[in-house]
Amino acid sequence: MAYLEVQDLRIAFQTHAGRFNAVNGIDLAIERGEIFGLVGESGCGKTVTSLALMGLVPPPGEVNATRLNLDGVDLLGRHDWREVRGRRVAMIFQDPAASLNPTFTLGEQLEHVIGHHLGMKGTAARKRAADLLLDVGLPDAERILRAYPHQLSGGMQQRAMIALALASGAQFLIADEPTTALDVTIQAQILRLLRSLRDKHGLTILLITHDLGVVAQTCDRVGVLYAGTLVELAAAARLFRGPKHPYTQGLLAALPRPGSRGAELAAIEGQVPSGLAAITGCPFAARCTRVFEHCRDVMPMLLEVAPDHGPDHGPDHRPDHRVACHLYAGTEVTR
Amino acid sequence: MTLLEVRGLSKAFPIRSGAFRRRLARVVDDVSFTLNAGETLGLVGESGCGKTTLARCILRISEPTTGEVVFGGQDLVKLGQGALRARRSELAIVYQNPYLSLSPRLNVHDLVAEPLVTHTRLRGSALTTRVVELLEAVGLSADDLSKRARQLSGGQAQRVAIARALALRPKLIVLDEPTSALDVSVQAQVLNLLVRLQREYGLAYLFISHNLDVVQHLADRILVMYLGRMVESGPTSAIFAAPKHPYTLALLAATPEPDPDRPVPTITLEGNVPSPLDPPPGCRFHPRCPLAQELCRTQAPALRPLRDGHVSACHFAEELPGA
């Protein structure tokens, strides 16, 4: 049994304009100690998916699934989330300055969380707070504990935010665009920190980002979301060496890269379908360059790519590359 | 043909520190470069390196403290308001976030017409014809005339901002992170548009970005800034093939590429960018530079010309490992 199991997750919002489907049936399984990347463009449903794991989907959002299970704890239909939030799952966001409380010092904020979740007080709590700061690469703990968030740089704030997330003892970290607001050299430091925390403490990390480069550099496995649907799922190296879904291929082709100077970039024409529209068939059909009749009628399922497709059978082939596309007549995966 | 020449441009802001003390933060410090007609110069650096302030000084949205901005043979810094206004039609700027740079109260027609009304005598149907022409040049249509910015997608809104910048047939457009707020598929559309417009209208671009992959896609030459100073400049291909400053090397190494087979970065930076109020002595980059030596701590390196039109401010430019 996987550490996190999500089956047929659906999230919808009843709006004055009708029912808005943000997530349309996602299946995911994340193993303990894995860094899993959920990648997609604005509005694809990546953030709301992660919020569902903490019971934070705002009303009037409705969350439905056939299974939603974290480390043996059932998250479905839960009313009391105290056992989950903080204790098991912690979250960090894009803008650490907006997530930290500007009116308390970092010491106060850390000790509050440590006191609440671990029952430690006084010098024990302070010692634990200092250890946490050391853990996230802030060795000057004495000064930082006394500092207010605004006295730290963006990179240090994000490190402090990670310390705060870990203070409760959570083993599952959701990082929602954790480096988008940071400069590239600081981004590299934070990504390195996330990997080292996984190695050291066996954390499981769900990394949500729009940046394919960040995913390639940080994640073990990747899921590509499009219009609330998981269209491709694979080990990061496999996905970037041989993307299968036309949308994934399109995203990678649209990126400017060293050597692309002056060349026409392969932009994906058209727009993402609105969550208000009922989609029959493949959600990408309207923008796909390889669309055929079947695509408009039948929604493709996320299936294992048959090993005789593509250039990557061979010694490193693992049966772990799924794609939701009619171009690949796959064999169905049994759950 | 040289369109723009910036000579020794500096901008210092007074910062209050304590009741009676005022200190100067030199945000842009002695920057010089030239830009030819029809050419793209990429301006690269992290937050606070002074790239946006430099652009604002060139357009005189901000007054430079010292230095010259020679545009089409005339020093813009010395111009009075009236003369400056006449020259301004040759310069335009596109900002990062179109929802902030475009007035929410105006519709697309009025947004694009505004510079034409201010600077030309076009009115009525002739004005509308020109507005539609501009919208079509950026891939929009007359159907969009009555919309407001918030009714447009990010990519469409940025196209309106570009149409507005094109309205007075400028020679130079400053692009300040024009695609940073956009999704990659939309970013590709906007970059393609910028390449096409440059070809069609012979525009020169000053392209500001923190994303090196985006910059290299457009730029003929690149200028790298760190803490207000130029640290390196040169032709794009030369900078990417063999950067001659450790900061450029680190920026390239830190840029995440969607390629699992890319070799492990040869250089990583620790620490943060220092404050321009207290720039470190010697080379401003030395506290973060993994290759810093004694000389770097005491003596500020001058910009030195190297081969291939490459210029670097590093004492050890010749000894850098290849990237």
For residue A216, the chain B residue with the least C-alpha distance is: B258
Write the CA distances from B92 to A271, B88, B106, integer angstroms: 29, 7, 19
Residue A143 has pLDDT above 60, yes or no: yes
Chain A positions touching B265 (Cβ under 8 A) are 188
Q: What is the pLDDT of residues B254-277, one digit of tens each?
A: 888 888 777 666 677 877 788 888
From A5's Cα to the closest Cα of chain B, the distance in A is: 27
Query: Are A162 and A136 spatial neighbours (Cβ–Cβ below 8 Å)?
Result: yes
The stretches of chain A forming alpha helices (DSSP H) are 46-52, 96-99, 106-118, 122-135, 141-145, 154-167, 184-201, 212-218, 236-241, 246-254, 293-297
From A76's Cα to the closest Cα of chain B, the distance in A is: 33
Query: Are B221 and A265 spatial neighbours (Cβ–Cβ below 8 Å)?
Result: no
Residue closest to B207 by CA, chosen among A266, B238, B197, A179: B197
A274 pLDDT band (50/70/90 cuts)? confident
Query: Which DSSP letter does residue A285 get?
Result: G
Task: Tell me what pLDDT residue A332 has.
Answer: 47
Judge whether A37 is closer than 8 Å to chain B, CB to CB.
no
Compute the distance between CA of residue B228 and CA of residue B169 in angstroms, rounded to an integer.
Answer: 31
Compute the distance between CA of residue B2 and CA of residue A199 in angstroms, rounded to an integer.
Answer: 54
Average pLDDT for A227-245: 94
Chain B positions touching A254 (Cβ under 8 A) are 184-185, 187-188
Q: Give the residue from B184, B220, B249, B268 with the most A CB atoms within 10 Å of its CB, the best one to mutate.
A: B184
Query: Are B275 and B307 spatial neighbours (Cβ–Cβ below 8 Å)?
Result: no
Secondary structure of chain B as H, E, C letters: CEEEEEEEEEEEEEEECCCCCEEEEEEEEEEEEEEECCCEEEEECCCCCCHHHHHHHHCCCCCCCEEEEEECCEEHHHCCHHHHHHHHCCEEEECCCHHHHCCCCCEHHHHHHHHHHHHCCCCHHHHHHHHHHHHHHCCCCHHHCCCEHHHCCHHHHHHHHHHHHHCCCCCEEEEECCCCCCCHHHHHHHHHHHHHHHHHHCCEEEEEECCHHHHHHHCCEEEEEECCEEEEEEEHHHHHHCCCCHHHHHHHHHCCCCCCCCCCCCCCCCCCCCCCCCCCCCCCCHHHCCCCCHHHHHCCCCCEECHHHCEECCCCHHHCCCC
Does the distance separating the beta carbons of B254 and A188 come in below 8 Å? yes
Average pLDDT for A234-253: 93
Judge whether A286 is closer than 8 Å to chain B, CB to CB.
no
Chain B positions touching A153 (Cβ under 8 A) are 272
A97, amino acid identity: A
Query: B217-235: buried (b, 16+ CB within 10 Å) or exposed (e) per residue?
Result: bbbbbbbbbbbbbbbbbbe
For residue A156, the chain B residue with the least C-alpha distance is: B272
Q: Give the residue from A35, A184, A209 with the most B CB atoms within 10 Å of its CB, the best one to mutate.
A: A184
For residue A266, the chain B residue with the least C-alpha distance is: B188
Chain A positions touching B195 (Cβ under 8 A) are 262, 264
Does the distance separating the beta carbons of B183 and A42 come in below 8 Å? yes
Task: Tell me what pLDDT residue A333 has.
Answer: 44
Task: Tell me what pLDDT residue B23 has.
Answer: 83
Judge whether A262 is closer than 8 Å to chain B, CB to CB.
yes
Task: Tell me what pLDDT residue B273 has.
Answer: 82
Task: Output the six-digit token pair for B121.
Answer: 């005598």
Query: Are B248 and B72 spatial neighbours (Cβ–Cβ below 8 Å)?
Result: no
Residues of chain B in Cβ contact (below 8 Å) with chain A: 46-47, 153-154, 183-189, 191-192, 195, 210-214, 216-219, 236-237, 240, 250-251, 253-261, 265, 268-270, 272-273
Residue-averaged pLDDT of chain A: 89
Bond before A60 cis per omega within 30 degrees: yes
Q: How many residue pairs bridge chain A and chain B with CB atoms within 8 Å of each other?
A: 117
Which residues sit opposite A18 in a β-bridge? A15
Does the distance separating the beta carbons of B184 and A254 come in below 8 Å? yes
pTM: 0.89
Q: Give me the residue from B153, B185, B191 closest to A251, CB to CB.
A: B185
For residue B249, the chain A residue with the least C-alpha distance is: A185
A314 pLDDT band (50/70/90 cuts)? low
Task: Tell me what pLDDT residue A209 has.
Answer: 94
Judge whether A195 is closer than 8 Å to chain B, CB to CB.
no
Judge whether A152 is closer than 8 Å to chain B, CB to CB.
no
Judge whether A183 is closer than 8 Å to chain B, CB to CB.
yes
Contacts 24+ apart (CB under 8 A), A127-133: A128/A167, A129/A163, A129/A167, A132/A163, A132/A166, A132/A167, A133/A106, A133/A159, A133/A160, A133/A163
Q: What is the pLDDT of residues A174-211, one digit of tens each?
A: 999 999 888 888 899 999 999 999 999 999 999 999 99
Q: What is the mean pLDDT of each run of 10 residues along chain B (323 residues)?
A: 94 83 88 95 91 93 94 92 90 94 95 95 94 95 93 93 96 94 90 95 95 92 95 94 92 86 73 84 92 93 90 91 59
Maximum distance among all alpha carbons in chain B? 69
Does the distance separating the beta carbons of B257 and A217 come in below 8 Å? yes
From A116's Cα to the closest Cα of chain B, the distance in A is: 32
Compute the distance between CA of residue A239 and CA of residue A222 in angstroms, rounded to an integer.
Answer: 8
Does the distance separating the beta carbons of A211 and B256 come in below 8 Å? yes
Judge whether A266 is closer than 8 Å to chain B, CB to CB.
yes
Compute the distance between CA of residue A239 and CA of residue A226 in angstroms, rounded to an integer.
Answer: 15
Residue A115 has pLDDT above 90, yes or no: yes
Compute the distance between CA of residue A301 and CA of residue A322 in angstroms, rounded to an integer.
Answer: 9
Chain A positions touching B183 (Cβ under 8 A) are 41-42, 210
Task: Tell me what pLDDT residue A280 has.
Answer: 85
Task: Tell me what pLDDT residue A334 has.
Answer: 40
Compute the distance between CA of residue B7 and CA of residue A133 in angstroms, rounded to an integer.
Answer: 46
Does the distance separating the beta carbons of A211 and B188 come in below 8 Å? no
Compute the distance between CA of residue B249 and CA of residue A274 in angstroms, rounded to an integer.
Answer: 42
Maximum distance among all alpha carbons in chain A? 68
Chain A positions touching B212 (Cβ under 8 A) are 184
Residue A232 has pLDDT above 90, yes or no: yes
- Weakest mean pLDDT among A90-99, A148-157, B270-279: B270-279
Query: Are A108 and A188 spatial neighbours (Cβ–Cβ below 8 Å)?
Result: no
Domains and CATH numbers, chain B: 2-90+170-319 (3.40.50.300), 98-169 (no CATH)
**3-state SS class at A69:** strand
From A271's Cα to the closest Cα of chain B, the distance in A is: 9
Instruction: Report DSSP letters for A97-162, one per residue.
Output: HHHS-TTS-HHHHHHHHHHHHH---HHHHHHHHHHHHHHTT---HHHHHT--GGGS-HHHHHHHHH
